[in-house]
């Protein structure tokens, strides 16, 4: 007899998680609570309620988390200009800590003994979900069906549904995308299918959020983004909530062919994985944020942030959002954003994002000093001589002692 009486499942309503509901009921003889989050995946989440009810689920949570997702996860991450391995904007990674948090909160509310998810044993998501869960509820039991069952293919899952009368729309069997996809307000990702061959070019009809740069308008689109403490608060002078900012940038960026990415990344579990991503809004946000920081951040603060960013990106990618070190680093990042206020003007043209203007009442750019014209004595160029000699001192000493760098 299982000691698991109730499980909270991260439930999408799709084939995998529908099978998981019945599998949990059969294997653990337990009650299943489903949790479906709307984080901007672009699909209706309410139908998950009907599907869960048809599976005998009595406690069903369906929640709109879009504002929380962007405000408390995406924006803090972008304050650090975060990219993983030089390219990936962490669209899937940053959604997992929010889902893990709500799974644990719902488990506490409902008195559940365990949580469950549909992540496979090969990927990063199992790590992200479970590290978050253990950080927030150390004694929680985690059930990962893909690490336990023998349903190792879509065909076996479909057969399981047929044998147990699980309500799945079999008419869509041939219409299913050949790719494994994940979407939220920050991005949509594609893996599998032809992408498993790193030499093969992604098919044109795979992309869903953006036009190809070749088909983008011949006229450039200009945007003015207003920042307060490192976050975008308005577009073209119109105040917007965090989620609306990202939705708007996704739409405009995608229409201009912005945000497509094709990479091979190193998963935390050890394997390399080829994936394609569409992140139109995030691509614009990253470029613009660096621009507003360029005139408002002290040089050494900016360089320190850049040096620490890869470590911060790894924390998020590997699932350590709910860790002491990430929280500590976030406090430093947020402190650096106190004066990151002002406006950035960007130009979008056939997939490219160009910064064409930046201004701030907190700007450290001093035109009277930086000018190539007469600076009226603001900067004494003779000061540079001693500065250079002092910085060259150690190299001059080494050379005088016979250390030849041309060897």
Judge whether 405 lies within some domain: no
Please give the Cα distance from 75 to 282 (Å, whole number). Answer: 10
Per-residue pLDDT tens over the stretch 310-359 = 999 999 999 999 999 999 999 999 999 999 999 999 999 999 999 999 99
Is 79 a member of any domain? no
| Domain assignment of residue 328, yes or no | no
Decide: helix, strand or coil at residue 34: strand
Domain that holds residue 56: 6-65+92-176
State whether 345 and 223 are in the same domain: yes
Provide the annotated active-site residues.
Answer: 16, 96, 125, 180
Q: What mean pLDDT is predicted for residues 146-167?
A: 88
Q: What is the phi-psi region of residue 279: left when phi exceeds 0, alpha when psi lies from -120 to 50, beta otherwise?
A: beta
Q: Report how far residue 215's alpha carbon sits from residue 270's, in angstroms, rounded to the nearest whole number.
A: 38
Give the integer Cα–Cα distance in Å for 339 and 295.
10
- Of the candidates 22, 57, 36, which has an alpha carbon nearest to the alpha carbon of residue 145? 22
Quote the pLDDT of residue 174.
Answer: 45
**Both 188 and 268 in a single domain?**
yes
Between CA 193 and CA 178 the distance in angstroms is: 5
What is the phi/psi pair of residue 5, to 5°?
-100, -30
Rounded to whole angstroms, how far apart are CA atoms 273 and 292? 34
pLDDT tens for each residue of 190-215:
999 999 999 999 999 999 999 999 99
Q: pLDDT tens across 360-382, in order?
A: 999 999 988 888 888 888 888 99
Question: In this predicted structure, what is the pLDDT of residue 169?
Answer: 63
Q: Is residue 235 classed as helix, strand or coil in its secondary structure?
A: strand
pTM of the model: 0.94
Regarding whether 383 and 234 lie in a shared domain, the answer is no
Q: Work out the angle at residue 114's Cα, subtended by the Cα atoms of residues 153 and 144, and round it to the nearest 5 degrees.
A: 20
pLDDT one-digit tens code per residue, 262-317? 999 999 999 999 999 999 999 999 999 999 999 999 999 999 999 999 999 999 99
- Which value, in Å, is the radius of gyration of the alpha carbons in the chain? 25
Mean pLDDT, rounded, for 35-56? 93
């Amino acid at each position: 007899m299982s000691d698991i009486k109730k499980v909270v499942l991260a439930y999408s309503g799709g084939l995998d998680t529908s099978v998981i509901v019945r599998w949990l009921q059969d294997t653990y003889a337990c009650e299943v609570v489903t949790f479906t989050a709307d984080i901007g995946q672009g699909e209706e989440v309410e139908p998950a309620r009907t599907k869960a009810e048809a599976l005998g689920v009595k406690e069903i949570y369906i929640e709109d988390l879009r504002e929380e997702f962007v405000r408390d996860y995406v924006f803090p991450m972008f304050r650090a200009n975060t990219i993983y391995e030089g390219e990936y904007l962490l669209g899937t990674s940053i959604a997992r800590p929010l889902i893990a948090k709500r799974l644990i909160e719902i488990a506490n509310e409902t008195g559940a003994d365990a949580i469950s998810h549909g992540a496979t044993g090969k990927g990063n998501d199992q790590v992200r979900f479970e590290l978050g869960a253990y950080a927030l509820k150390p004694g929680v039991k985690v059930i990962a069906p893909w690490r336990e069952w023998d349903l190792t293919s879509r065909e076996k899952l479909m057969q399981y549904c047929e044998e147990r009368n699980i309500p799945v729309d079999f008419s869509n069997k041939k219409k299913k995308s050949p790719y494994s996809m994940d979407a939220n307000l920050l991005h949509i990702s594609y893996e599998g299918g032809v992408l498993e061959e790193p030499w093969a070019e992604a098919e044109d009809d795979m992309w869903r959020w953006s036009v190809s740069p070749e088909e983008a308008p011949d006229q450039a689109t200009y945007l003015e983004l207003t920042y307060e403490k490192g976050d975008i608060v308005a577009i073209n002078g119109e105040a917007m909530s965090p989620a609306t900012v990202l939705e708007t940038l996704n739409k405009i960026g995608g229409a201009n062919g912005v945000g497509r990415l094709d990479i091979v990344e190193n998963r935390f579990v050890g394997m390399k994985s080829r994936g394609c991503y569409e992140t139109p809004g995030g691509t614009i946000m990253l470029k613009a944020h660096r621009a507003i920081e360029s005139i408002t951040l002290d040089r050494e603060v900016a360089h320190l942030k850049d040096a620490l960013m890869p470590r911060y990106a790894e924390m998020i990618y590997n699932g350590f959002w709910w860790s002491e070190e990430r929280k500590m680093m976030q406090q430093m990042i947020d402190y650096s954003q106190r004066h990151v206020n002002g406006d950035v003007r960007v130009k979008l043209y056939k997939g490219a994002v160009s910064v064409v203007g930046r201004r701030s009442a907190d700007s450290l750019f001093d035109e009277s000093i930086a000018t190539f014209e007469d600076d009226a004595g603001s900067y004494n160029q003779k000061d540079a001589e001693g500065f250079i000699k002092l910085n060259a001192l150690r190299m001059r000493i080494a050379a005088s002692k016979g250390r030849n760098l041309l060897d």
